[in-house]
Amino acid sequence: MDRGARLEINIPNLISNLRLIKERVRHRPVIAVVKADAYGHGAVPVSKALIKAGAEILGVAFLSEAIELRESGINSPIIVFFDSDITEEVFRYNITPVISSLKIAKRLSSVAEKQGKQLTVHLNFDTGMGRMGIDFQKAEETIGEILSLKGLRIEGIMTHFSEADLSDKSFATVQLQRFDKLRKWFAEKGLTPLCHVANSAAVLNLPEAYMDAVRPGILLYGVSPCGNSMGKPVMTVKTEIIEIRRVRSGTPISYGRTYITRRESTIGVLPVGYADGLFRSISNRSEVLVRGKRVPVVGRVCMDLTMVDLTDLADAEVGDEVVVIGSQGNECITADELAMNAGTISYEILTSLGSKNRRTYIE
């Protein structure tokens, strides 16, 4: 048998989520974030579906991700958010890099001059994320130097919220005010770059951040970054029971004897473990669905296997479908629930499971 879980990627749900976002932001252009292999959902098929459904621009983290999309036949605009190792391939593949420092701007200007071409770029400003971006306090000086460089055409400007997902929007508002000053500075110079700030959380909670375009990521995949749900989950994660064991009361299950049966028990073995992206930290803390019922994970999750307690499910059989994320009968386990049990966030759950398991696409 093939190892790992089976992932079902629901394309109609993806398209529905995009349309809900477009309606919410009053049909502004959408920069669909498909970095990290579309959050584990598969960058190429997801990107093709999003573009066909009306997303205007795609956003990735690194140049290699953009090249993969181009070589799959995608011709829509692609923005590369973080890569500093930019070469002449940006011209070959018609890719728009984001500039986060004067050093990167000078490097890109040199590449453009050698090509004898003009390169379209976006500028990223650090208004409080503390990660990458031109320091907003030195922005005017830095912008002036960038504008003096040859071969660059500033098409857009952006920043990134550090906590737009919190109920307290005070710091997000500070970041927005800082960015708005930069926006006004450009306007005073007669420049009108495309301004994009709103991530998924801001799409939900900060309409004043919509500006010229929005930049949703996790929300496209039917997962909310801040509790208030919108849309339908796109990823379902399934496996099956490969063995059922009847054991006595007092039987230890898995490594470390962290779970010992308190009654005669029926234990199911699943062919998925932490090597497949199912976090070891859910050991003794999470549940899966079998025959429409919740059953607990017992003992430590192993590299290749996970055990569940089927004692209260008398009719379970080898070969039964098991849902790790998704719906079965009237029950549902979300990526957020699994993340909470694992002590992490849904982003990590989706990218971990998505990168290590087989995907099929429901059209």
Q: Which domains does the chain have, with CATH numbers?
A: 11-221 (3.20.20.10), 235-362 (2.40.37.10)
Whether the per-residue pLDDT at 320 is higher than 80: the answer is: yes
Q: What is the mean pLDDT of the chain?
A: 96
Using pLDDT thresholds of 50, 70 and 90, give the confidence band for residue 100. very high
Which of the following is catalytic: 22, 35, 238, 356?
Answer: 35
pLDDT of 226 reads 85
Whether the per-residue pLDDT at 179 is higher than 80: the answer is: yes
Angle at 181 (CA atoms; ends 197, 109), nearest 5 degrees: 70
pLDDT of 314 reads 84
Using pLDDT thresholds of 50, 70 and 90, give the confidence band for residue 139. very high
Q: How far apart are CA 31 and CA 57, in angstroms?
A: 5
C-alpha distances in angstroms, 52 versus 14, 111, 341? 12, 32, 36
The reply to whether 259 belongs to the active site is no
Percent of the chain with pLDDT over 70: 100
pLDDT of 32 reads 98
The reply to whether 255 belongs to the active site is yes
Whether the per-residue pLDDT at 86 is higher than 80: the answer is: no
Q: How far apart are CA 270 and CA 292, in angstroms?
A: 16
Which of the following is catalytic: 52, 138, 189, 255?
Answer: 255
CB 129 within 8 A of CB 159: yes
pLDDT of 1 reads 86
Query: Angle, nearest 10°, between helix axes 139-147 and 170-188?
Result: 40
pLDDT of 84 reads 83
Query: Per residue in 212-265, pLDDT tens?
Result: 999 999 999 999 998 777 899 999 999 999 999 999 999 999 999 999 999 999
